[in-house]
Amino acid sequence: MNDVSRSFRGNSNAARDIAHHLHPYTNFKKHEATGPLTIVRGRGVYVMDDDGKEYIEGMAGLWSAALGFSNERLATVAYEQMKQLPFYHAFNQRSHEPAINLAEKLKAMAPVPMSKVFFANSGSEANDTVVKMVWYVNNALGRPHKKKIISRIKGYHGVTVAAASLTGLPNNHRSFDLPIANILHTSCPHYYRFGKDGETEEQFATRCAEELEQLILKEGGAEHVAAMICEPVMGAGGVIVPPKGYYEKIQAVCRKYDMLFIADEVICGFGRTGNVWGCQTLNIQPDILTCAKALSASFLPISAVMVNDKVYQALATESDKIGTWGHGFTYSGHPVAAAVALETQKIYDEIDLFGHAKRLSPVFQKHVASFADHPLVGEAMSVGMVGALEIVADKKTKAPFDPVAVGAGNRVYNHAVQHGLFIRNMGDRVAICPPLIINEAELADLFGRLRKAFDETLADLRSEGHF
Ligand code: PMP
């Protein structure tokens, strides 16, 4: 994690946090030494810490708070739903209106015809559900060996046991004894890093599809390989937009081996890539689609799994044979979360948030592209309203800095925090993913602060002889 140098002594939140709170994604020893940065309130695209300092939330929290950090309507809807029916479940044929309404709305929005919507509480739970669905479906279809699921190196699908296995990042496997069996990883479609000398983007996309097919054949072909899961644009792996034609090619391979195609829209869904779904931006026709985060603008935890009729019919057959689909969470489709998600979608429609994001995308992308001539930036990549800047030691050779001795990405992060800006660095790849409600002036402010962070990092690296 990043090292924001601030004194926590005398700050009671920080001392109590260190004493009591075990954090997600944190180096605990470092946390004991430096303490947390505690956020106490939000307003629009800004959040404020407990020292009163304001930050532009350039990551929409965790790629998720599409409406920013204050919205009266969502607060009111949550309050009203809590008064009417604070909790009910959907097990054993029970139901409630918020879940019915939200399922209906999501189906109407889906990028391809979908049959049913299953609810969970997080992206991880949604993707874990999908792994079980794929296995269940193939048992239903009398294909007991067709159980292997392919995801990609650098893909991110969550942290529960199956979802973390799908994730293709070392920190999610190392020391956790993961991945589990039947989960495989194919090539990452990052042309800048993995394209070979002289290879065009198109040739690179073709090679990715060939490597996928080789993996399928090595693992037993159609009899053993059941599905592939992809984020349309990889998020936590570094904001990686695959080259043109990539999805056409890999979906053709999946069809050839009778595999289900799963789109993980947890980040891309709800306007992030310039269309409602990443599937629309990248030309993907999924059998199963998962979403979360901006589903409720992150005001409450909720996620969804949409399945097409082919998948639903198999699930239905097997559940009838066994007696039940033995899967579901206490809070699947929680009425308050579902009511807030539905209201979120109404707000998106009323303020034309997706249209706003599409219109603002060229401005956002121009800002990202303007960093291409910065001495530290090797790649400036963006789509819709999400982008990344890759820091390199040598633009020609694309050689990175030493991640430990230099830690260039961490430095940019720390300088940005000093300037009241939250971005995220995945190693030396710096991501920007602001709330979709952001306006042009706020975007200019965001990128102005980021420019300062890059310039100060450059000055540090020069003065220390790293550059
Ligand atoms: N899929 C993707 C594409 C994600 O980005 C994330 C979270 N960043 C997840 C799944 C997991 O979601 P959660 O953290 O809600 O479990």
Residue 13 lies in a domain: no
Closest Cα to atom 1, ligand 1: which residue?
A: 157
Task: Indicate the pTM of the whole model.
Answer: 0.97
Stated length of the chain: 467
Strands (E) across 287-334 are located at 288-291, 303-307
Whole-Å CA distances, 39 to 66, 413, 415:
18, 17, 18
Question: 399: helix, coil or strand?
Answer: strand
What is the pLDDT at residue 12? 85
Query: Do 364 and 345 share a domain, yes or no?
Result: no
Residue 3 lies in a domain: no
Query: Do 155 and 177 share a domain, yes or no?
Result: yes
Residues facing residue 54 across a β-bridge: 48
Residue 66 lies in a domain: yes
Closest Cα to atom 12, ligand 1: which residue?
A: 123
Among the candidates 322, 350, 378, a domain finishes at: 350
Cα distance between residue 53 and residue 51, in whole Å:
6
Beta-carbon count within 10 A of 441 CB: 8
Query: Do 435 and 422 share a domain, yes or no?
Result: yes
Query: Do 65 and 206 share a domain, yes or no?
Result: no
Residue 99 lies in a domain: yes
Among the candidates 330, 350, 370, a domain finishes at: 350
Contact 369, 380 (CB under 8 A): yes
Question: CATH number of the domain that 86 lies in?
Answer: 3.40.640.10
Query: Do 118 and 104 share a domain, yes or no?
Result: yes
pLDDT digit string (tens) for the chain, length 467 residues: 344 445 555 678 999 999 999 999 999 999 999 999 999 999 999 999 999 999 999 999 999 999 999 999 999 999 999 999 999 999 999 999 999 999 999 999 999 999 999 999 999 999 999 999 999 999 999 999 999 999 999 999 999 999 999 999 999 999 999 999 999 999 999 999 999 999 999 999 999 999 999 999 999 999 999 999 999 999 999 999 999 999 999 999 999 999 999 999 999 999 999 999 999 999 999 999 999 999 999 999 999 999 999 999 999 999 999 999 999 999 999 999 999 999 999 999 999 999 999 999 999 999 999 999 999 999 999 999 999 999 999 999 999 999 999 999 999 999 999 999 999 999 999 999 999 999 999 999 999 999 999 999 999 999 999 99
Query: Do 270 and 302 share a domain, yes or no?
Result: yes
Atom of ligand 1 nearest to the CA of 124: 16
Q: Is residue 282 within 6 Å of ligand 1 at its C-beta?
A: no
Cα distance between residue 215 and residue 185, in whole Å:
9
Q: Is residue 124 within 6 Å of ligand 1 at its C-beta?
A: yes
Cα distance between residue 78 and residue 453, in whole Å:
39
Query: Do 236 and 113 share a domain, yes or no?
Result: yes
Cα distance between residue 8 and residue 10, in whole Å:
6
Number of domains in the chain: 2
Query: Do 118 and 240 share a domain, yes or no?
Result: yes
Distance 11 CA to ligand 1 centre (A): 32
What is the pLDDT at residue 5? 45
Residue 276 lies in a domain: yes
Query: Do 100 and 218 share a domain, yes or no?
Result: yes
Contact 436, 66 (CB under 8 A): yes
Contact 265, 127 (CB under 8 A): no
Residue 314 lies in a domain: yes
Cα distance between residue 97 and residue 218, in whole Å:
48
Distance 409 CA to ligand 1 centre (A): 22
For a mutational test of ligand 1's pocket, the pick from 25, 161, 266, 272, i.e. the residue with the most ligand atoms closer than 8 A to its C-beta, is: 266
- The secondary structure element, H or E, covering residue 81 is helix 72-84
What is the pLDDT at residue 1? 39
Residue 275 lies in a domain: yes
Question: CATH number of the domain that 394 lies in?
Answer: 3.90.1150.10
Cα distance between residue 420 and residue 425, in whole Å:
15
Contacts of 58 (CB under 8 A, 6+ apart): 416, 421, 422, 423, 432, 433, 434, 446, 450
Q: Is residue 428 within 6 Å of ligand 1 at its C-beta?
A: no
Residue span of the structural domain in which 250 resides: 73-350
Q: Is residue 128 within 6 Å of ligand 1 at its C-beta?
A: no
Query: Do 333 and 371 share a domain, yes or no?
Result: no
Beta-carbon count within 10 A of 18 CB: 16
Ramachandran bin of 352, using left for φ above 0, alpha for ψ from -120 to 50, beta for the remaining angles: left
Query: Do 242 and 344 share a domain, yes or no?
Result: yes
Residue 96 in tokens: 């409630």
Backbone torsions φ then ψ of 379, nearest 5 degrees: -135, 135
Q: Is residue 236 within 6 Å of ligand 1 at its C-beta?
A: yes
Beta-carbon count within 10 A of 20 CB: 7
* Single-letter residue type at 460: D
Among the candidates 317, 350, 383, a domain finishes at: 350
Q: Is residue 292 within 6 Å of ligand 1 at its C-beta?
A: yes
Interhelix angle 440-463/408-418, rounded to 10 degrees, is 130
Q: Is residue 231 within 6 Å of ligand 1 at its C-beta?
A: yes
Q: What is the ipTM of this complex?
A: 0.99
Query: Do 334 and 422 share a domain, yes or no?
Result: no
Contact 19, 45 (CB under 8 A): no
Residue 386 lies in a domain: yes
Q: Is residue 147 within 6 Å of ligand 1 at its C-beta?
A: no
Atom of ligand 1 nearest to the CA of 121: 15
